[in-house]
Amino acid sequence: MIRELPELVLPGATLDTLKASCASCSMHQLCLPMGLDNNDMDRLDQIIGRRRKVPRGAPLFRIGDSFQSLYAIRLGHFKTYQVNREGVEQITGFQMAGELLGMDAISADQHHCTGVALEDSEVCEIPFGSLQQLLADMPTLLRHFHRMMSQEITREQSVMLLLGNMQATQRFAAFLVNLSSRYEARGYSPHVFQLRMSREEIGNYLGLTIESISRLLSKFKKEGLLRVSNREIELLEPIRLKAITAGTQTCA
Amino acid sequence: MIRELPELVLPGATLDTLKASCASCSMHQLCLPMGLDNNDMDRLDQIIGRRRKVPRGAPLFRIGDSFQSLYAIRLGHFKTYQVNREGVEQITGFQMAGELLGMDAISADQHHCTGVALEDSEVCEIPFGSLQQLLADMPTLLRHFHRMMSQEITREQSVMLLLGNMQATQRFAAFLVNLSSRYEARGYSPHVFQLRMSREEIGNYLGLTIESISRLLSKFKKEGLLRVSNREIELLEPIRLKAITAGTQTCA
DNA sequence: CGGTCCATTGATACCTGTCAATCGCCGTGG
DNA sequence: CCACGGCGATTGACAGGTATCAATGGACCG
């Protein structure tokens, strides 16, 4: 089922092979779990648009941009944020390789949030018009696409739960556990990873201040729950961390 | 474009006419704004399942239920909530006639939240299997369906913004303004309406306590922003209310 | 080596939660 | 018809969790 593909683009590759490898890499991650067969994959490859590099800090799309494409992250990390009428940002999510960006823009044909790369990243552009045509005669892909949109709804609901009735300690533990499980699902270590976002961005996402995040990190460190050095983090007691997330343990 | 349909089911109606009127009423509201033509509407009617009454307080679906259908609210109001591992509810949304329920269940074939009627209500069941078949060869409807899912994502993002960086006063003003505009969009008065949910449910949704909601109502009343008697509410200064939502006015 | 930005830590203030008492509406039953 | 009881809502006093403000520390970069 898994097709062998060059992880790095070879020198001398044509535009077509570039496109193909682009599509496959990110779409593999997106689609394989859902059981697309090779035939479907090939057809999918054909509609995938160009690969695009996004340097750290650069926007992939901005609030108000007209909606043309979805973006599959091939490499790197992104954040999406809204801006309220005071001009204050609210981060609505952090996305990593293998995840899809831009689904909130379908409803009104324009983006409702801004997507910015947290590090030098790479995405595949998926023109939505072409995708829709394809969806119409590929039931498997259609189903898969609906699952992905639904998953986004579910994800946001759990953030609402987090923001609505968790204390700071619980929120931060939940944040770490969430990152951990996403890295694990992608084959990375669930216990040692880099925080790709600043303390300020974490705080913004969790509805807390940068100082609170800092204090929570110190507290967790003191408790022996984790080790942290700048953005490098190691979870020493994932079980206890999960317990705190669940609210069954207060963390001293 | 708007087809004339009996608002109330006539005595002596056959099962088929019942189904048809059911489908039309709720789906009209769902689909007309998106520009479905009559032909599409007729085909849509055919897959709509039975109409179902849901008495006040009764669940339409529960967390963990296997996913079979989406539900279009024909009449009444619902709330959806998640439950964290401590067993604490977090309301994720209030839905009214013309809105669609259950889209979060597509991702894992089971419901991630519980939907409960806030008053005696009525829904149309839309079997998802049938809907998918239909979507495959009705591009207009497919597009419309994607818009609705995307709209749900957008809605939840704005709740995240509300929970993540608004103060209590701002949250509550935003809540009222949101209800107001939704009633207006449905042809009801945007200034006078019934709160279908208890203070406790509002507080839960906004991440506040029932006491805070009570105090905010009193404060708004004192400011001359609204009049309230039990669940009947009248917005006296919608403009100022919107200003508070935007954060441009502090409300004394 | 110095500047800048981000992170950490401490002191204090404020918002909202918690606890408690009272009120008022409403349905029930005498 | 009225008394009673129950539940939701209101209001007040107080406490606690985070935000805010301020100072310091440390990493990265020119």
Q: Indicate if B83 and B201 belong to the same structural domain.
A: no
User: Which of B100, B134, B161 represents a domain boundary (last residue)?
Assistant: B161
Q: Which residue has the higher pLDDT, A133 or B248?
A: A133
Is there a contact between A157 and B113 if contact means CB atoms under 8 Å apart?
Answer: yes
**In whole angstroms, how far apart are CA A211 and each of A88, A208, A218, B188?**
18, 8, 11, 46
Q: pLDDT tens digit string along A136-171?
A: 888 888 999 999 999 999 999 999 999 999 999 999
Q: Indicate if B144 and B63 belong to the same structural domain.
A: yes
What residues make up the domain containing A98? 27-161
Q: Which of A107, A67, A128 is nearest to B144 (CA)?
A: A107
| pLDDT at residue A17, rounded to an integer | 38
Q: What single-letter amino acid sits at B221?
A: K
Q: Is residue A49 part of a domain?
A: yes
Rounded CA Rg of chain A: 19
Collapsed DSSP state (helix, strand, coil) of residue B25: helix
Q: pLDDT tens digit string along A71-106?
A: 999 999 999 999 987 788 999 999 999 999 999 999
Which of chain B's residues have a Cβ under 8 Å away from the Cβ of A149? 103, 106, 146, 149-150, 153
**Total domains present in chain A:** 2
- Is A3 a residue whose pLDDT tops 70? no
Walk across the sheet containing A226-229 and list its strands. A192-194, A232-235, A226-229
| pLDDT at residue A175, rounded to an integer | 97
Shortest distance between the Cα of B154 and any Cα of chain A, in A, equals 5
* Among the partner residues B84, B92, B157, nearest to A113 by beta-carbon distance: B157
User: Which of B136, B161, B186 represents a domain boundary (last residue)?
Assistant: B161
Q: Which nucleotide is nearest to B211 (CA to C1')?
A: D10
Q: Is residue A114 part of a domain?
A: yes
Stated in angstroms, how far is B249 CA from C4 C1'? 35
B230 CB below 7 A from strand C atoms? yes
Name the DSSP letter for residue B9.
P
Q: Which of A232, A228, A215 is nearest to A168 (CA)?
A: A215
B66 token code pair: 């296997």
Q: Which of A165, A167, A175, A210 to mutate to test the interface with B (most CBs of B within 10 A)?
A: A165
Is A152 part of the contact surface with chain B (CB cutoff 8 Å)? yes
Q: Are A98 and A73 in contact (CB under 8 A)?
A: yes
Give the Cα-Cα-Cα angle A31, A33, A38 (nearest 5 degrees). 55
Torsions phi, psi of A166, nearest 5?
-115, 150
Q: Is residue B106 part of a domain?
A: yes
| pLDDT at residue B251, rounded to an integer | 59
Mean pLDDT across the stretch A107-119? 95
A159 token code pair: 């953030």
Stated in angstroms, how far is B222 CA from D11 C1'? 14
User: Which of A105, A127, A161 represents a domain boundary (last residue)?
Assistant: A161
B211 CB below 7 A from strand C atoms? yes
Mean pLDDT across the stretch A27-50? 62
3-state SS of chain A: helix, strand, coil percent to 5? 45, 20, 30
Q: Which residue has the higher pLDDT, A14 or A245?
A: A245
Name the DSSP letter for residue B82.
E
Q: Indicate if A174 and A114 belong to the same structural domain.
A: no
Residue of chain A nearest B103, judged by CA positions: A150
Shortest distance between the Cα of A10 and any Cα of chain B, in A, equals 36
Beta bridge partners of B142: none
Q: How far apart are CA A56 and CA A118, in angstroms?
A: 5
Stated in angstroms, how far is B180 CA from D22 C1'? 43
Q: Indicate if A211 and A131 belong to the same structural domain.
A: no
**Residue A33 CB neighbour total at 10 angstroms:** 12
B83 token code pair: 């439950």
Q: Indicate if A97 and A119 belong to the same structural domain.
A: yes
Is A82 part of the contact surface with chain B (CB cutoff 8 Å)? yes
Which residues 195 to 234 of B reach strand D, CB within 7 A? 198-200, 210-211, 213-215, 217-218, 228, 230-231
Q: Which of A25-39, A40-54, B114-128, B195-209 is the least confident region?
A: A25-39
Q: Indicate if B75 and B157 belong to the same structural domain.
A: yes
Q: Is residue A5 part of a domain?
A: no
A208 CB below 7 A from strand D atoms? yes
CATH number of domain containing B106: 2.60.120.10
Torsions phi, psi of B52, nearest 5?
-140, 130
Is there a contact between A105 and B143 if contact means CB atoms under 8 Å apart?
Answer: no
Instruction: Considering only CA atoms, name the residue closest to the C1' of nucleotide C14.
Output: B167
Q: Which residue has the higher pLDDT, B13 or A177?
A: A177
Q: Indicate if B48 and B123 belong to the same structural domain.
A: yes
Q: How far apart are CA A126 and CA A241, in angstroms?
A: 38
CATH number of domain containing B227: 1.10.10.10
Q: Indicate if B71 and B189 belong to the same structural domain.
A: no
In chain B, what is the straight-line distance between the N-terminal and C-terminal CA atoms, in Å? 48
Q: Which residue has the higher pLDDT, B96 or A4?
A: B96
Q: Which of B84, B109, B170 to mutate to test the interface with A (most CBs of A within 10 A)?
A: B84
Q: Is residue A115 part of a domain?
A: yes
Q: Is residue B45 part of a domain?
A: yes
Q: How far apart are CA A206 and CA A217, in angstroms?
A: 14
Q: pLDDT tens digit string along A180-202?
A: 999 999 999 999 999 999 999 99
Q: Which of B86, B126, B161 to mutate to test the interface with A (most CBs of A within 10 A)?
A: B161
Q: Indicate if B35 and B135 belong to the same structural domain.
A: yes
Q: Are A193 and A94 in contact (CB under 8 A)?
A: no
Q: pLDDT tens digit string along A195-242?
A: 999 999 999 999 999 999 999 999 999 999 999 998 999 999 999 999
Q: Indicate if B80 and B152 belong to the same structural domain.
A: yes
Q: Are A246 and A240 in contact (CB under 8 A)?
A: no
Q: Is residue B212 part of a domain?
A: yes
Q: How far is CA B156 from the centre of its chain?
A: 12
Q: Which residue has the higher pLDDT, B61 or A16?
A: B61
pLDDT of chain B, 252 residues: tens digit per residue: 333 222 222 233 333 433 344 444 444 445 444 556 667 677 777 777 778 999 999 999 999 999 999 999 999 999 999 998 778 899 999 999 999 999 999 999 999 999 999 999 999 999 999 899 888 888 888 999 999 999 999 999 999 999 999 999 999 999 999 999 999 999 999 999 999 999 999 999 999 999 999 999 999 999 999 999 889 999 999 999 999 998 766 655
Q: Indicate if B79 and B152 belong to the same structural domain.
A: yes
Q: Indicate if A113 and A208 belong to the same structural domain.
A: no
